[in-house]
Amino acid sequence: MDAFQIKKTAKVYDVVIVGSGAGGGMAAYMLSKAGANVLLLEAGGFYDPADPKYITQLKWAYESPRRGAGTTRPFGDFDAAWGGWQIDGEPYTVDPGTEFHWFRSRMLGGRTNHWGRISLRFAPNDFKRKTLTGVGEDWPIGYDDIAPYYDEVDKLIGVFGSKENLPNEPDGIFLPPPKPRLHELMLKKAAKGIGIPVIPSRLSILTKPINKDRGSCFYCSQCSRGCMVYADFSASSVLVNPALKTGKVTLINNAMVREVLTDEKTGKATGVSYVNKINLQEVAVQAKVVVLAASACESARLLLNSKSSRFPQGLANSSGVIGKYLNDSTGASRGAFVPALMDRKRYNEDGVGGMHVFTPWWLDNKKLDFPRGYHIEYWGGMGMPAYGFGSGIENLNGIIPGRDGKIKPAGGYGANLKDDYRRFYGAYVGMAGRGEPVPLESNYCEIDPNTVDKYGIPVLRFHYKWSDYEVKQAKHMQDTFEEIIHSMGGIALGKKPGPENNYGLEAPGKIIHEVGTVRMGNDPQTSALNGYQQAHDVKNLFVVDAGAFPSQGDKNVTWTILACSMRTSEYIIEQVKQNNI
Amino acid sequence: MKRRETLKLISLSSLGLVGLNPQVIAAEQLAAPEVPVKAGNGRQEFEAVRDAKLKADKFFTPQELLTVTVLTDIIIPADAKSKSASEVGVPAFIEFMMKDQPAHQTPMRGGLNWLNNKSTKLFGQPFVKCSRGQQIALVDQIAYPGLAKPEMVQGVAFFNMMRNLTASGYFSSKEGVADIGYVGNKPNQWDGVPADVLKQYGLTGEE
């Protein structure tokens, strides 16, 4: 087969969707249920966590020769993400003096397969950042526009939580939350004692069955491995599967989309061109509507690579805004040892995948020296021992009295050391802040003029630096972590991060919450999409991933991707019915 | 005696290993099959291919492996509750990690050479040839970071690495999981902290 001949398919689909994660999965679900003929293109392979071929859930560390170490998967050998910050043959570049790490999951369902299932709604104020604080940008829509879709997503997918009536953390339609684990009760008591709220977490995990297609949680704590009974949300299990069952969806895996095709005369999108990664055949497919959901940066890359004489700056980019305002959550963390938890009674406290409690943002930024908030996630407890277990004990066992009450020299070996591992098991806790950054025009991705991937597609070059806003926020996180740790009688581990390392602020991209690169807005001069995530310049082109979001709140964005994609899908159906696109 | 145990004995004696030092047996049994992680068993194809290649490769020389085996058993010996490190396959795990994450290789090989050099200077022979008393005398000089003499700091770094790898390999093994008392990784119903535990910590569950 001549790879350089482009195969043109005759069929014209109603919609082609690029990407099968939260945004693309929801669009495929909504549009196929409405009767559209959908072509769903996914750059990675097929994946179904109920198929033994793919199951890693309930495996023991010793079933991995590296005992679960993250050599080929950044979050460990059993993690469900196929991909990572580096993918062989799919490079990206970074401008000197700046930093960005781009995580990609090449698989059906994308990054929803391994995510933390943290499912928070944006609050009304999250849509009005510029108006309220003078920095950042307002959304073209508000909470009232999106609230009905949050409700529908809650019912369709399922999320547990508790009614709290917090202005910054709107309540949803919740399943019952799991009770806290022991360390979580201790954290809660300690934090509340110093005025920091701790409430049940809000995760898209079924603590009760919601339909016949999905089971309910059996408390193995391994959502990040994918769930064989579909008790957690991943786009593959919960959205793409039922979409495929409609018979209206053609799914093509290993389809790496190169560009969006357009008609020079009408300026409308006519389909996309992709590389079949297995045989390197180039294929052009036709559709009446093109929906991009390839992830914030991948969708920006696609549009920037879709240049033509009519769209010389890339498609939907007359504003020049595509790629700009890239922003990832801030992140900083601290671990602690809790002597009161030594020599614990053993019992199964796996629970759901992730934390049972968290701290929503609780302060008023007007009284602080940084403009945006953060929430705190917690971990700890008696987890499955795996690679890394007991590491660094030499930093700890010299400051904790032995069974005889005496301090002994740190490190050591033999029966005494073996006993230390037993005593210390389950006595560690940790906490991490996840905060909202201020989106800046100076943080961006663009096409690198000198580099292509192995399919010959020009790659992204990143340019990203944290501002003072984020560094000050990280400082506040570190101070807060120490207060909580001290309040619970814990010993903070390691040296407290300070100005020498930006207070432990993780590099951009490390939290994997990037948004903003194809942002929506009312003004076509400063935004690429309108409030329905429809391109200002191309009426039949939509972007339903987080690239469309002008900001990300101190919330993880997945629930908002889902709600917005559902809303956009309804809009597409309505516009098609009215012959507007 | 269960059939499986009988088979184990037969295979050991047929290899002529009965009566040897158990550490030597452990060292020579590196090629013993462990639970395989195959493609189609939660592995991506490139991972399965890579794992198979790594398992076929060898990193440690027999002498190095013996030294590693002796050290892991000094770090985690058998006690009343559970077996020693080498008895649960820790040396084989360390061998695999050297190939899986090659950044470990130079610190490990260099550390072993450092150890043998020191032991030759002190006792006139490589570490594994030394008496138990001599081995412990040397380990005592590198096992306590806060007490070690300045000329021993490289040995301290090596021993820290060895201690951490040994703990990883030991407690993630089937026997290590049983020892540490992790009882999860199976379907369960979670209904909160058990009442006796709440009481022990002076909590109500409604904090």
Residues B91-105 have pLDDT tens digits of 999 999 999 999 999
Interface membership of B202 toward A (CB under 8 Å): no
Backbone φ and ψ of A347, nearest 5°: -160, 170
**CA dihedral sign, ordered B54, B178, A52, A230:** negative
Considering only CB atoms, which chain B residues are within 8 Å of A392? 164
Per-residue pLDDT tens digits for A66-86: 999 999 999 999 999 999 999
Per-residue pLDDT tens digits for A487-525: 999 999 999 999 999 999 999 999 999 999 999 999 999
| Site of tokens 């560690």 | A428
Average pLDDT along chain B: 87
How far is it, in rounded angstroms, from Cα A68 to Cα B135? 32
- To the nearest whole percent, how much of chain A has pLDDT over 90? 98
Does this complex have an ipTM over 0.90?
yes
A174: pLDDT strictly greater than 80:
yes
Q: How far is CA A530 from CA A193, A316, A549, A572, B28, in A?
A: 46, 11, 11, 13, 68
> What's the whole-number mean pLDDT along residues A377-383?
98
Give pLDDT, residue A188.
Answer: 98
Considering only CB atoms, which chain A residues are within 8 Å of B183? 346-348
Residue pair A550/A439 in contact (Cβ under 8 Å)? The answer is yes
- With cut-offs at 50, 70 and 90, classify the pLDDT of residue A6: confident
| Site of tokens 């013993």 | B32
Say yes or no for a CB contact (<8 Å) between B185 and A390. no
Q: What is the pTM of this model?
A: 0.94
Please, which residues have CB within 8 angstroms of residue A435's CB and are 6 or more apart in sequence?
A329, A330, A331, A372, A373, A374, A375, A470, A473, A474, A477, A554
B189-196 contacts, C-beta under 8 A, 24 or more apart: B189/A218, B189/A219, B190/A178, B190/A179, B190/A219, B190/A348, B190/A349, B190/A350, B190/A351, B190/A352, B191/A179, B192/A179, B192/A180, B193/A179, B193/A180, B193/A181, B193/A182, B193/A185, B193/A349, B194/A345, B194/A347, B196/A345
Give pLDDT, residue B30.
Answer: 46
- Between positions 92 and 131 of B, the ones with CB within 8 A of A are 93, 96-97, 100-101
**Residue A310, class by beta-carbon neighbours within 10 Å (0-12 exposed, 13-18 middle, 19+ buried)?**
middle
How far is it, in rounded angstroms, from Cα A81 to Cα A561? 19
- Smallest Cβ–Cβ distance between B186 and the set A53, A58, A62 belongs to A58
Interface membership of A46 toward B (CB under 8 Å): no
- Smallest Cβ–Cβ distance between A414 and the set B35, B37, B77 belongs to B77
Say yes or no for a CB contact (<8 Å) between A220 and B185. yes
Say yes or no for a CB contact (<8 Å) between B168 and A389. yes
A196: pLDDT strictly greater than 80:
yes
Say yes or no for a CB contact (<8 Å) between B167 and A390. yes
CA contacts within 13 A on the Cβ side of B144: 15
Per-residue pLDDT tens digits for A441-497: 999 999 999 999 999 999 999 999 999 999 999 999 999 999 999 999 999 999 999
Give pLDDT, residue B23.
Answer: 55
> What's the whole-number mean pLDDT along residues A9-36?
97
* Residue A131, H or E segment: helix A129-133
Q: Which residues of A43-60 are buried (b: 16+ CB within 10 A; e: fewer)?
A: bbbbbbbbeeebbbbbbb
How far is it, in rounded angstroms, from Cα A288 to Cα A581? 8
Q: Chain B closest CA to A62's CA: distance in Å? A: 5
Please, which residues have CB within 8 angstroms of residue A80's CB and are 6 or more apart in sequence?
A47, A49, A56, A107, A113, A114, A224, A225, A226, A234
A211: pLDDT strictly greater than 80:
yes
Per-residue pLDDT tens digits for B116-165: 999 999 999 999 999 999 999 999 999 999 999 999 999 999 999 999 99
Give pLDDT, residue A318.
Answer: 98
Query: Chain A interface, mutation test: which of B49, B168, B189, B199, most A Cβ atoms within 10 Å?
Result: B168
Give pLDDT, residue B14.
Answer: 36
Q: Chain A closest CA to B63's CA: distance in Å? A: 22
Q: How far is CA A136 from CA A133, A501, A551, B140, in A?
A: 8, 25, 8, 59
- Smallest Cβ–Cβ distance between B180 and the set A179, A180, A385 belongs to A385
Say yes or no for a CB contact (<8 Å) between A185 and B203. yes
**Residue A142 DSSP one-character state:** -
- With cut-offs at 50, 70 and 90, classify the pLDDT of residue A321: very high
Q: Chain A closest CA to B202's CA: distance in Å? A: 10
Average pLDDT along chain A: 97
- Torsion, Cα of A15, A19, A21, A23 (10° steps): -50
| HEC sequence for A406-436 | CCCCCCCCHHHHHHHHHHHCCCEEEEEEEEC
Say yes or no for a CB contact (<8 Å) between B44 and A220. no
| HEC sequence for chain B | CCHHHHHHHHHHHHCCCCCCCHHHHHHHHHHCCCCCCCECCCECHHHHHHHHHHHHCCCCCHHHHHHHHHHHHHHCCCCCCCCCCHHHCHHHHHHHHHHHCHHHHHHHHHHHHHHHHHHHHHHCCCHHHCCHHHHHHHHHHHCCCCCCCHHHHHHHHHHHHHHHHHHHHHHCCHHHHHHHCCCCCCCCCCCCCCHHHHHHCCCCCCC
Interface membership of A59 toward B (CB under 8 Å): yes
> What's the whole-number mean pLDDT along residues A96-119?
98
> What's the whole-number mean pLDDT along residues B13-31?
44
